[in-house]
C-alpha cells in the first residue's frame, strides 16, 4: 500500500491485488495513510474461504473480511460471475472521483478456483 501511495503522489493511478487475508494486516495502513490522506485505491481482492475452500484458515478470515471493510467504511463490490466485470470501469471512476479506497472481492466462482 505504501508503494501505491507513493505512485499516487507521483501522479499515477495505482491499484493493488491481494488475498482477503491481507485485509487483517493492512487495517492500520488503510486508515492512517490511504483514508486519512484521501487516496483512491482500487483493491482487487481474491475472496478465499467460501464453500469448497481447501485451506481451513482461509475460511476463518472469510468470516471477517466483509465486516472489516464495512467497519472501515470502504465501499465493497463482490464479483461472483464473469459478467460482473462489466461494472469494473464504473467502480474505478467512483474510487478516483471520491478519492477513497474501494474493495472488489472476487470469489472462486469468478476466477474458477477450487474445482468440484
Q: What angle do CA 86, 79, 55 make, to 5 degrees?
A: 150
pTM for the model: 0.90
C-alpha cell at 74: 470502504
Q: How far apart are CA 67 and CA 39, in angstroms?
A: 21
Distances 79 to 10, 49, 71, 110, 116 between C-alpha atoms, Å: 30, 15, 20, 6, 20
- Place 52 in a pLDDT band, splitting at 50, 70 and 90: confident
Q: Where are the beta strands (DSSP E) in the chain?
A: 16-19, 41-46, 76-79, 101-106
More confident residue, 116 or 39: 39
Q: How far apart are CA 42 and CA 76, in angstroms?
A: 10
pLDDT tens track for 54-79: 888 788 888 899 999 999 999 999 99
Number of neighbours of residue 73 by Cβ within 10 angstroms: 10
Amino acid at each position: 500500500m505504501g508503494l501505491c501511495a507513493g505512485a499516487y503522489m507521483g501522479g499515477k493511478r495505482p491499484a493493488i491485488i491481494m488475498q482477503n487475508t491481507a485485509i487483517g494486516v493492512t487495517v492500520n495502513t488503510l486508515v492512517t495513510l490511504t483514508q486519512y490522506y484521501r487516496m483512491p485505491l482500487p483493491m482487487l481482492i481474491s475472496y478465499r474461504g467460501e464453500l469448497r475452500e481447501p485451506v481451513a484458515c482461509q475460511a476463518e478470515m472469510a468470516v471477517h473480511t466483509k465486516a472489516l471493510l464495512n467497519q472501515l467504511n470502504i465501499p465493497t463490490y463482490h464479483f461472483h460471475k464473469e459478467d460482473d466485470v462489466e461494472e469494473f470501469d464504473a467502480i474505478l471512476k467512483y474510487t478516483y472521483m471520491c478519492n477513497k479506497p474501494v474493495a472488489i472481492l472476487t470469489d472462486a466462482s469468478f476466477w474458477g478456483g477450487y474445482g468440484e
